[in-house]
Structures are given as C-alpha cells and as structure tokens.
C-alpha cells in the first residue's frame, strides 16, 4: 500500500531535481533521506507508537512471512504450534545468543516451562529485560519475596505494572490486577501495547 505513494513522491521529487537542474549533493542527499523516512514511517508508527489493535493486527498478518512479526502474533494469540515452529526458525536464523535467549524465554514462559526459562536468563544481555523475565519466572515459582525485590528495582513503567498485574492475578486480586494491567497498557505503544492488550484479554 505504501509503495505507490512512495513511488509517486520519488518520481515528482526526481523530476523537480532534474527540471530545476539541482546538483547540490547536500540537497540530493536530503531528498534521499526524506524518501527513506517517508517509506519507513508507516512501519515505524505501527511498531513503536500505534494503539489501534485491529490496525496492528492487520499489519502483523500482512507481514506474516516476517518470522519476528508472526511470532509476536502467535504469542499474543496463543497459537501453540505456530509459536514452536516460528521460535525454532528464529533461533536457527539468529547468530546472537542473547537474541536467541529472548526468543526461547518467550516460548518457555508461554508453555510454563520454568526450567527452560531459567536456563535462558543468563544469556539476556539487556538488564531491564533480564529482570522483567526473571520477575515472571519468580512469580510463577511462587517466590514472592524475590519477585517483589525485582519489581521494586524495575524502572520501566510498563514492565513494572505488568509484573504487578501478574502478581495480583496469581494472588486472586482481580480488581488490582486489572488496575495494573490498564496502567501497563497506558504506558506502552506499538507491538508492546498489542502484546499486553491480547495477554490481558
């Protein structure tokens, strides 16, 4: 859908450059950067800022050949076989052990395989995500004291609220869980918002 407007704008722009005989490299480079930004903005908007669930879902399904996007869709919608298949493919394609760990831990937590999830924790290099996933694991293990220490230390608002929602859900405090779930959604956007929305449904 975006390729036609991009093509039209590019054609008009190049005609403009040619017609006015603009040869300044800075202006040409600026135009090139503008074209790239115009082409990728719709995708970035969906990934990072969008909050329209049907729109995000249409994007994910339209781009289902992209394993990363389809894995997000499969995890959010609880498609067990697709989760296993796409995670296996992502892991085999990735050469970064930390990225492999993120794929594997997402799958392990979905299937409540806490042993497998624990094995992947040390390979996650981003401290915030390592703490976030460890918080989930400790909550599922019933280690509330450890989980609470992790929750207290987490700085990212949506991560903290998501863990608090899970803690209250496991404790049977559904009103509190809903409160924290809504707060987590409010402080997230794009694919993260979509994932949280589908999880909290």
163 close to 25: Cβ distance less than 8 angstroms:
no
Q: How far apart are CA 15 and CA 12, in angstroms?
A: 5
Task: Name the CA dihedral angle for 180, 70, 109, 123, rounded to a multiple of 10 degrees.
Answer: -110
Q: Which residue matches tokens 């493919």?
A: 89
59 close to 46: Cβ distance less than 8 angstroms:
yes
> Can you give the C-alpha Rg of the chain in angstroms?
21
pLDDT at 181: 97
pLDDT at 16: 57
pLDDT at 45: 83
Low-confidence stretches of the chain (pLDDT < 50) are 1
181 close to 196: Cβ distance less than 8 angstroms:
yes
First-to-last C-alpha distance (Å) of the chain: 30
pLDDT at 73: 96
- Where does 150-198 show beta strands of DSSP type E? none
pLDDT at 27: 61
Q: How far apart are CA 198 and CA 185, in angstroms?
A: 10
| Per-residue pLDDT tens over the stretch 26-72 | 565 665 655 655 667 778 788 889 999 999 999 999 999 999 999 99
pLDDT at 1: 46
Residue 157 is encoded by which pair of tokens? 């608002």
Q: What is the largest CA-CA distance in the chain?
A: 71
């Amino acid at each position: 859908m975006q390729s036609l407007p991009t093509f039209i704008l590019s054609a008009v722009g190049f005609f403009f450059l040619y017609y006015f005989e603009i040869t300044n490299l800075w202006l040409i480079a600026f135009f090139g950067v503008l074209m790239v930004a115009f082409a990728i903005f719709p995708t970035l908007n969906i990934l990072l800022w969008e909050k329209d669930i049907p729109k995000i879902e249409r994007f994910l399904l339209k781009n289902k050949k992209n394993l990363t996007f389809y894995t997000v869709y499969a995890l959010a919608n609880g498609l067990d076989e697709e989760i296993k298949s796409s995670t296996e493919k992502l892991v085999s394609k990735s050469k970064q052990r930390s990225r492999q760990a993120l794929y594997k831990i997402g799958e392990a937590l979905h299937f409540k395989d806490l042993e497998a999830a624990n094995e992947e924790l040390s390979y996650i290099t981003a401290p915030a995500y390592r703490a976030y996933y460890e918080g989930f694991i400790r909550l599922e293990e019933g280690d509330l004291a450890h989980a609470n220490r992790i929750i207290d230390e987490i700085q990212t608002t949506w991560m903290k609220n998501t863990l608090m929602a899970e803690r209250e859900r496991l404790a049977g405090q559904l009103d509190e869980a809903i409160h924290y779930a809504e707060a987590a959604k409010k402080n997230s956007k794009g694919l993260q918002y979509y994932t949280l929305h589908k999880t909290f449904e």
